[in-house]
A and B are shown apart, each in its own frame.
Chain A
Amino acid sequence: MQLFPCPFCGLREESEFHYGAEAGNVRPDAGFVSADQWSDYLHMRDNPKGATREIWVHLTCGEFFMMERDTVTHRVMGSTLLEDATHSA
């Protein structure tokens, strides 16, 4: 069983966590949003092989956070409270 780091609880078993989204996929919120922009937001994912930044939630405490991990090696580089994370880029 892999352990994931919750910014509040510390290391917990992976089954207590749920994947949320790719970090950086910011909802387009300008006055005018083109069909392409909207479609990109809804459907297009980077799905990188290797280092990735993702939004996760720790289900037992309800904390949402940004986790950096490697999709090939499964190594977790760290997790950051969303308030402190620059997840917009």
Chain B
Amino acid sequence: MRDHAAKWPPAPDWSTAKLDRGSISVRTIEGLSQLLVSGDLDAWATASGTASASVAGAVIASGNKYSARIARDRVLAVSATPFALATGWHDAGFAISRIDAGMHVFQVEGPGLNELLARAMTQPLVSSGPSASLLFAGINVVLYHFTSMQSVRIHVDRALAPYLWEWLEQSV
């Protein structure tokens, strides 16, 4: 039988995989609680205690709990500790789906960040509007600044994480 395994490098051990190339570093952030929330986003912010201003483009995320904007009526809620709200429909006007294991999170930081973003995206992140959902290196990710303009978090479908890692290895 043909051995296709040799065509692709094995996915790295995410807990130790790290890129460090002077002006930029990349690592995986494990264990974040992630929810897809759809519906009345103000009601969600009140119920969950997250900031009502959602994160995207020029808006920098910070703290242990925030919502990254995906669409007019949808956010990706991210927290270092599990959210207290149950999944499913909430009568306040929003629905919650848990997506903890569905998305892999990379944190990319360093003075070389803007150069890397310019290689992966058509427009500067600050002018990408109110949605953090965009094309990065040809695939759909949720991407926003985290704590500073020299750092971003990238949420990507878990199945595409090895591809993105390989792209980063070659581009950083």
Contact = CB atoms under 8 A, between A and B. Distances in A.
A64 B72 CA distance: 11
Interface in A19-52: none
Interface of A: 1, 3, 6, 8-13, 15-16, 59-63
Interface of B: 70-72, 74, 121-123, 127-131, 133-135, 140
Given A8-B71, A8-B72, A60 B131 contact: yes
Given A61-B72, A62-B71, A63-B72, A9 B130 contact: yes
Contacts of B122: 1, 3, 12-13
A60 B129 contact: no
Contacts of B130: 8-10
Contacts of B133: 60-61
B112 to A, nearest CB: 22
16 contacts: A1-B122, A6-B131, A9-B129, A9-B130, A9-B131, A10-B127, A10-B129, A12-B134, A13-B121, A60-B131, A60-B133, A61-B71, A61-B133, A62-B71, A62-B74, A63-B72
B132 to A, nearest CB: 9
B153 to A, nearest CB: 16
B142 to A, nearest CB: 9
Contacts of A63: 71-72
Nearest to B70: A61
Contacts of A60: 131, 133-135, 140
A29 to B, nearest CB: 27
B135 A16 contact: yes
Contacts of B128: 9-10, 12
Nearest to A10: B129
B117 to A, nearest CB: 13
Contact of A13 (B71, B74, B123, B131): B123
A61 B131 CA distance: 7
Contacts of B140: 59-60
A57 to B, nearest CB: 11
